[in-house]
Amino acid sequence: NGWWIPCAIRTLALFNHANEMINGRIIPLAEMAIDSLNYIDGERDYFEWKHRKSRGIIGGFTFCQYPFVFSINAKRTILKRDSEQQMIINARRSMIQKFQNKQTPNLNMLFLNLYIRRSHLVLDSLAEVTKKRDDLKKKLRVTFVGEHGLDMGGLTKEWFLLLLRQIFLPDYGMFVFYDLSGVYWFNGASTDNIREYNLVGILMGLAVYNAIILDIRFPLVCYKKLLTPAFIAEPMTHLSKTKVGIIKPTLADFRTIRPDIAHSLQYLLDYDGNVEEDFGLTFEVSVAHYDTAMIYLLKENGSKIDVTNENRNEYVELLIDFYINKHISKQFEAFYYGFHSVCSSNALLLLVPEELEMLICGMEQCNLSSLAKITKYENCSPNENFIKWFWQVVEEMPSDKQRRLLLFVTGSDRMPIGGLSEMTFKIAKISSNKCNINDLLPMSHTCFNQLLLPPYPTREILKEKLFLAIENCEGFGIE
């Protein structure tokens, strides 16, 4: 109720704005957050802010007006509470509808139930989410047709892993992987997969909504586009009048996708000689569409306009805009509406692109030193030699090897936002009467975060086999 807190926050907002104006930020985003706000009722603050915003009420003070003060943990809690509230509203609506139609309600109506055939993974997933769009904001539950078992989280994670792996296969043609940047980007030539792009957006939205970490390699600029705009009050359809995913990209943004082309563009901008004579460029771009090269004009009559010292900045801006916006506009629009059909929420207004990426993909920092404390064991105990050797080897691993181990066991090389305390990690002893124990490799069930480890007779053999497994195998003992 005092004046000093609002004044202090508004002063900090000036510093934050100045920090945002600097490329690369002098002060990291996480250090701008006020940790003590983790102990206030952020949910109440959010719903008050949301209420004021929806009613157009001017004045007053809420912390959500200045989202930089919240840590990513606090924002995730707010988003989770908002998601839970929407889940409850949708479940209640379904129940009321049943009563109005004089039908007996059942527990299934409280969930988004997807029934998937493994042999038709993409086809069934498309059909199910299309048929059940009104249920997307319910708790997700997956059933593989013809298989027994209740989904307690493992089947849902398995569905995500299998489906994303298939969609991101090069043969599928929806996304292009660039080795130099290590990221996927939308394939502008893929015009027949618009429904599948929408499905990938829905998958990412469901992951946020159901707190599941995905192993997706998109550049940060993808999340900038997903938050442009962060929230649309009108219905989430392609008929919306609002332009979505259109940003003003920079050369730094483009460098995260195509560092090779970005390097050439930077060279063009810095060149001291005669650009027109030495480069021979015009305002057009050639793009490979499978086996054919397609020519696109960057501006009207671009093929007749030479790039010169005077207009090279315009050329670079138009070329970057082409790759990041125009060339993939239909694909990204479908992707955007898929994501926001699940995650449409004022809470997204609190996030910056880096935070949205963390919510979907987890944190990049990987330190497994405390993993042993949360590990559960099956058919073995932490006192057995091969278990002790395993943890010794993990402790000695460099961070890149630890990330490979995490990917091998969990399906993602990133950690949850809340750290290891939010993970489950299991080690089960496996053996075989059919072959020598030294011939076995470690395996994993990524849907259960379970490592299957043979009881090797020496530490050296364990280390050799473990490294061989995590470097050369996907780990997936579930297909």
In tens digits, the chain (479 residues) has pLDDT values of 678 899 999 999 999 999 988 877 889 888 999 988 888 888 899 999 999 988 888 888 999 999 999 999 899 889 888 888 887 887 788 888 888 888 877 777 888 999 999 999 999 999 999 999 988 888 899 999 998 777 677 888 889 988 998 999 988 899 999 999 999 999 999 989 999 999 999 999 998 888 888 889 999 999 999 999 988 765 555 555 678 999 999 999 999 999 999 999 999 999 999 999 999 999 999 998 877 889 999 999 999 999 999 999 999 999 999 999 999 999 999 999 999 999 888 999 999 999 999 999 988 877 787 889 999 999 999 999 999 999 999 999 998 899 999 989 988 888 888 777 788 899 999 987 777 888 899 999 888 899 999 999 999 999 999 999 998 865 433 33
Those residues with Cβ within 8 angstroms of residue 335's Cβ, 6 or more apart along the chain or in another chain: 186, 197, 198, 200, 201, 245
Measure the CA–CA gap between 55 and 32, rounded to whole angstroms.
30
Candidates 64, 222, 447, 473; catalytic one = 447
pLDDT at 138: 86
CATH 3.30.2160.10 applies to domain 251-324: yes
Would you tell me which CATH number, out of the four given (3.40.1190.20, 3.30.70.2190, 1.10.3720.10, 3.90.1750.10), belongs to the domain 109-230+329-361?
Answer: 3.90.1750.10
**459 and 383 Cβ atoms separated by less than 8 Å:** no
Segments of the chain assigned to CATH 3.90.1750.10: 109-230+329-361
pLDDT at 237: 57
pLDDT at 233: 65
Instruction: Identify residue 320 by its one-letter amino acid code.
Output: I
135 by Cβ neighbours in 10 Å (0-12 / 13-18 / 19+) ranks as buried
290 phi-psi bin (left φ>0, alpha ψ -120 to 50, beta other): left
pLDDT at 447: 82
**257 and 325 Cβ atoms separated by less than 8 Å:** no
Measure the CA–CA gap between 169 and 53, rounded to whole angstroms.
43
Those residues with Cβ within 8 angstroms of residue 88's Cβ, 6 or more apart along the chain or in another chain: none
pLDDT at 144: 92
Q: In 10 A of CB 331, how many CB atoms?
A: 25
Segments of the chain assigned to CATH 3.30.2410.10: 371-472
Segments of the chain assigned to CATH 3.30.2160.10: 251-324
Alpha carbon separation from 478 to 162, 269, 298 (Å, rounded): 10, 51, 48
Per the omega criterion (within 30 degrees of 0), is the bond before 229 cis?
yes
343 tagged catalytic: no
The alpha carbon torsion through 376, 379, 381, 382 (nearest 10 deg) reads -50
**237 and 337 Cβ atoms separated by less than 8 Å:** yes
CATH homologous superfamily of 371-472 equals Hect, E3 ligase catalytic domain (3.30.2410.10)
**429 and 375 Cβ atoms separated by less than 8 Å:** no
